Amino acid sequence: MSIEKDFIVIGSGVAGLTFALKVCKFGSVGIVTKDALEESATKYAQGGIASVMAEDDSFELHVQDTMQTGRGLCHEDFVRIACREGPARVRELIDLGAQFDRIRGAGFDLGKEGGHSKRRILHANDLTGWEIERTLIQAVHAQDNIEIFEHHMAIDLITQARLDEKIQPGSDEDEALGLYVLNHQTQKVVTMVGRVIFMATGGAGKVYLYTSNPDTATGDGVAVAYRAGAKIANMEFFQFHPTCLFHPKAKSFLISETVRGEGGILRLQNGDTFMENHHDLGCLAPRDVVARAIDYEMKTSGDDHVLLDATHLEGYRIRERFPNIYKTCLEFGFDMAREPVPVVPAAHYMCGGLVVDANGQTNIKRLFASGEVCSSGLHGANRLASNSLMEGLVLSHRAVEKVVNLFKEPKNFKNSLDRIPEWDPGSAVDSDESVVVSHNWDEIRRLMWNYVGIVRTTKRLKRAERRIQLLLEEIQEYYWNFKITKDTLELRNLAITAQLIIQGAMTRKESRGLHYNLDYPEPDDANWKQDTVFQNTVHRLITQTNPRIVTHE
């Protein structure tokens, strides 16, 4: 089965929906999302969206906060673009119907989070992400030119290099034509062809044992694009959110940084405060500092969690400002207004990803990306809180302006469609060894947590590198022998993403931002004030007899 669209969007969070909504005026759009349309990391974003909206704030201050938090690796040109264009994109959301909290008669109720010098966080209580997602979904459903493919998962990109062995993957001659997609409800594979492929698949928190991310965050976009020859940068910088609820059934429920922004205090289990020993900003230090401090204090004391204390704040303030957090904590037996809440760090945000320019363009023509899946230069070595939703809005808007010009270029996609073979499972059979998938999935997440976590050593990284290579070989063999399933594809993507994180961490011989190696505890500006970039250049052809990937060294 083949489907042809002008624009194919992979992912349905703020980045993907923003692009789809704006580009549908110029052609047909297909949104591919592997779960229900609303199921994305955006939906679960609590804190808010950073934007200069107050009179005592400025673009320059937002730029400085972002650059300082990024530890020297932010791309200043794009930081300035994002901070300056952010307010206009936020106002577009408001015009669509997004309702952010306001102070009666005094404008927006702006919050403050770690690393910010001013109050600039717009929020909808503690469900900001859902308010944005709801608004965009409602607008998307009102468009006749957008078709939504729920429960469809990208398998691999189809590029010119995969049809022509003379073209090097990721070279100037290479361009994206479409992708193979698994409908995992029917187990049928669909061939989709488009003038532009837009990657907005989000992050990869599920690569770690403990994460605040939804189950969809398995690194799909990074792995799919990497296999096709896209450049991937800075994967060693994985942000761990300092405060997730510590409870065996809470599934690492995130407690927003805004709780500390409103005055919440971190304490040891004996009641002592500790953040003043780690940073001048105390509990409002950047996330890398706070997560590392908690990790250190837990290892020093032997405790399995620390406490987030908001009991000194007025009870109504907690219940009204954080209704969802308060309600969820109460469901697990903790009344935030009366007792400190146990918290631990958990994997939260992937600061690396597909290398893109200021318009979301990757090194592969007609392949664009926005949101957490990409590396735009905004976050550097550590993301400033609440900059992520803003980045998705800005970059997706700029990508539309770029792809509209591409859309005008003549191209005979009928010829491309004719050249692309339909998916053929070959001799693959139904699996009777699904335990392999669950076992390898669990092993990857544990080795990443233990060896490539908040604090690393060269010895641990080498162990992780050896083991991930063996796992990749096992997974590849499994992939070839058995018919694909959603679980198989996620495991395959998870392993490749883990490998890229390990490679980045092994390569960077310093400590900077989110990457902390005890063997190289200081930053090394002379040698490492630069991005770490990886690109797969192994030539893979799609053949008529087997459109799965055939490797030619």
C-alpha to C-alpha distance for 367 and 231, rounded to whole angstroms: 11
Burial tier of 104 (Cβ tally within 10 Å: 0-12, 13-18, 19+):
exposed
Q: Is 287 a catalytic residue?
A: yes
Distance CA 72, CA 284 (A): 20
Give the three-class secondary structure for 135: helix
Q: Is 38 helix (H, G, I), strand (E, B) or coil?
A: coil
Residue 423 DSSP code: P
- Name the residue with higher pLDDT: 406 or 40: 40
- Short-list 87, 80, 86, 52, CA closest to 64: 80
Q: What integer pLDDT is reported at residue 414 of this predicted model?
A: 57
* Res. 238 pLDDT band, cuts 50 70 90: very high
Specify the amino acid at residue 421: P
Beta-carbon contacts of 271 under 8 Å, excluding residues fewer than 6 positions away, are 307
Select the CATH number that applies to the domain covering 435-527 from these four: 2.40.50.220, 1.10.10.10, 1.10.8.10, 1.20.58.100. Answer: 1.20.58.100
What's the pLDDT at 533? Answer: 96
Determine what percent of the chain falls in helix, strand and coil, rounding each to the nearest 5: 40, 20, 40
Residue 410's pLDDT is what?
A: 58
Mean pLDDT throughout 76-80?
98
Whether residue 2 has pLDDT greater than 90: no
Q: At what angle do helices 387-408 and 14-23 cross, to 10 degrees?
A: 30
454 pLDDT more than 70: yes
Mean predicted confidence (pLDDT) in 238-266: 89
Compute the distance between CA of residue 266 and CA of residue 284 in angstroms, rounded to an integer: 10
Report in angstroms the alpha-carbon separations of 123 from 128, 137, 348, 436, 464. 5, 18, 19, 43, 39
What is the pLDDT averaged over residues 439-455?
Answer: 94
Asked if residue 343 lies in contact with residue 259, where contact means CB atoms within 8 angstroms, the answer is no
pTM: 0.92
Q: Is the pLDDT of residue 329 over 60?
A: yes
Q: Using the predicted structure, report yes or no on whether residue 425 has a pLDDT greater than 50.
A: yes
Structure tokens at 433: 């060894």
Task: Summarize the confidence of residues 429-436 as an average pLDDT.
Answer: 75
Best CA proximity match to 539, nearest among 234, 169, 269, 255: 169
| Residue-averaged pLDDT of the chain | 91
Give CA–CA dist 396/145, Å, rounded: 18
Residue 299's pLDDT is what?
87
Q: What is the DSSP letter of 36?
A: -
Instruction: Look at 271-280, 386-395, 534-543 and tell me which has the smallest mean pLDDT.
Output: 534-543
Task: Provide the sign of the torsion angle of the four alpha carbons 470, 475, 478, 479, taken in this order.
Answer: negative
Catalytic residue among 260, 287, 292, 366: 287
**Average pLDDT of span 475-494:** 90
Q: What is the pLDDT of residue 314?
A: 81
pLDDT at residue 434, rounded to an integer: 75
Lowest mean pLDDT among 66-75, 175-184, 213-222, 310-319: 310-319
The count of residues in the chain is 553
> Are 243 and 113 within 8 A, CB to CB?
no
The rounded distance, in Å, linking the Cα atoms of 309 and 265 is 5
**336 touches 356 (CB < 8 A):** no
Domain boundaries, the chain: 2-41+127-237+351-419, 241-345, 435-527
Q: What is the model's pLDDT at position 543?
A: 53
In angstroms, the CA 209 to CA 446 distance is 6
The CATH number of the structural domain formed by 241-345 is 3.90.700.10
State whether residue 362 is helix, strand or coil: coil
CATH number at 2-41+127-237+351-419:
3.50.50.60
**pLDDT recorded at residue 440:** 93
Q: Which pLDDT band holds residue 416 (cuts at 50, 70, 90)?
A: low
Q: Is the pLDDT of residue 433 over 80?
A: no
Closest by Cα among 85, 43, 437, 82 to 217: 43
Joined tokens for residue 107: 């404008």
Which pLDDT score, from 0 to 100, does residue 47 have?
80
Whole-number Å distance between alpha carbons of 326 and 320: 9
Residue 553 confidence class, pLDDT cut points 50, 70, 90: very low
Does position 548 have pLDDT exceeding 60, yes or no? no
Task: Inform me whether the pLDDT recorded for 46 exceeds 70.
Answer: yes
